[in-house]
Structure 1
């Protein structure tokens, strides 16, 4: 679909007559990371589910690696552009990590477009993905990434699997399932290196920490107890900053898309 002067690949589940729900993926993640069955179960819960490839991921328009030519604000506007292209005036927003940051910014700057907010594995911090951690803390999840040739299918698939495992927990999918997902991500991606470099360079957009108190829609903060990327102080602060926000801990979950073992809990919280 044409969105903000680029092409964005969009997929929907369920009936357009149901309340719309927009899934916002994390940094450098295509829509494949939102599991197909997870999306179908959301739709079965009475939602018109929308997922899309952010620019530089999947089949959406890509830019030269290291030279994105866009900002975190553009990523936010793309989310709104997807809703506009589908004729959706407002939606339930579900965002993970970078996607959560985008959801917060939409709720602050365009409150009329948001029906509810689900923030997963994210932070009310400065917007820099590796900076808001406790001073002096170094975790496995945020140490320097090993060099990977993202243009090589075998190396890229192995690199993706290693990252998922490093950030996951006991419920993270097994090797065969992770391999199928990583292969699908690679095969649908025009340039994995571009996505990984460019989203990090684009950032999350201007900080909104001081404006979170203006959010009035129902908000739930879902956070894994094993998330080392954004440790426990981050979801606690986020839940305090947004009036009426509920903090729900996902036991045994790391910094990852919801593993199947916690789907019942996550789906119930999103659909409440």
Structure 2
């Protein structure tokens, strides 16, 4: 059974959906920058639920049906983290398995270091810890997280996105499709699938352009890199071999920093929500009992 509802969270309204039985261990999905919960495929969520999880996905503030803000709104990555915790509070969930993608992975890291009692396990997908004081913070939208210069493809993706009229449905849908394909790989969904998804995202959103601006300004929040060695939750790192936004040094650094973490490569996957071709691998890894052998 799937339920979608609006709930008061930190003084705003957040739209969320759940899959599965409330009696199962809760699993919270945290989407990427300026991304609504639609990017977590319905069937992917159902399969997680079938694996014995009470799955929760939600729209970040300024995305989907959650509360929109005016351009330049002064919220931060910490506020985005508190929204995630507020979703758990609204559902009466004391602790959950956290699965975060890109920005969502950064938020999950922050929860794990600041509120470790709220984390059962940690899954970090296509994300970064930053690379220490010698790296140059050049990626817009990552706040104080230090990362090395982006690949030329990533520069082109962001430049192209800045030229899109996000208020126009046709242009916005085309822009989303182009963005996903540019960051993806051979397993990225085909155009008809992406078009249906992009149309759903646009139709559920108040203002895609403002959401992208505000999330980029919010960034990830103050760095937590130096606190990562204190993470005690079992941690899984899933990373595409073709991810150009966060090349391989990023997941390797995460794996070095977080004690006992496991780094699993997703062959042929870019900076994207795991495509259907690797679902079997991803679902097996996420649902595996912590501490179980390979």
**Bucket of the pairwise TM-score, normalised by the shorter protein:** over 0.9
Q: Counterpart of 2:134?
A: none
Distance 2:155 2:237 in 1: 22
Q: Note the C-alpha offset of 1:133.
A: 4.1
Shift of 1:139: 2.5
- Once the two structures are superposed, what CA deviation does each residue of 1:196-250 show, in whole Å capped at 9, x if it has no partner? 1000000101100000000011001000000000000000000110000000000
Describe the superposition over 1:67-121 as per-residue Cα deviations: whole angstroms up to 9, x where unpaired.
1221100000000000000000000000000000000000000000000000000
Conserved in 1, the CA contact under 8 Å of 2:151 and 2:245? no
User: Secondary structure at 2:165's aligned position in 1?
Assistant: coil
Mapped pair 1:139 → 2:145:
no
- What's the offset of the Cα at 1:132? 4.1
Q: CA deviation at 1:134?
A: 3.3
TM-score by length of 1: 0.97
TM-score normalised by the chain length of structure 2:
0.90
Alignment-derived partner of residue 48 in structure 1: 54
Residue of structure 2 equivalent to 1:125: 130
| Deviates further, 194-203 or 118-127 | 118-127
Distance 1:202 1:134, change over 3 A: closer
Task: Kindly indicate whether the alpha-carbon contact (under 8 Å) linking 1:133 and 1:231 is maintained by their aligned counterparts in 2.
Answer: no
Q: Distance in 2 between matches of 1:30 and 1:12?
A: 14
Give the 3-state SS of the residue equivalent to 2:238 in structure 1.
strand
1:191 paired with 2:207, answer yes
Q: Does structure 1 residue 68 correspond to structure 2 residue 68?
A: no
Contact 1:27 / 1:98 at 8 angstroms: preserved in 2? yes
4+ long deviations beyond 6 Å: none
1:234 aligned residue: 250
Aligned-pair CA distance for 1:194: 1.1
Aligned residues: 270
* 8 Å Cα contact 1:140/1:166 also seen in 2: yes
State the match for 2:228 in structure 1.
212
Other structure's SS at 1:9 match: strand
Q: Aligned-pair RMSD on alpha carbons?
A: 1.3
Deviates more, 1:120-129 or 1:240-249: 120-129
Contact 1:72 1:204 in 2 (8 A): yes
SS in 2 for 1:27: coil
Deviation at 1:141, TM superposition (A): 2.0
Counterpart check, 1:113 vs 2:118: yes
Query: What pairs with 1:3-42 in structure 2 (closer than 5 Å)?
Result: 3-42=9-48
User: Could you say what secondary structure the match of 2:159 adopts?
Assistant: coil
The aligned runs of 1:153-168 (5 Å cut-off) are: 153-168=169-184
Q: Give 3-state SS (helix, strand or coil) of 1:75's partner.
A: helix
In 1, Cα distance between equivalents of 2:210 and 2:10? 19
Q: Is the CA contact (8 Å cut-off) linking 1:167 and 1:227 kept in structure 2? A: yes
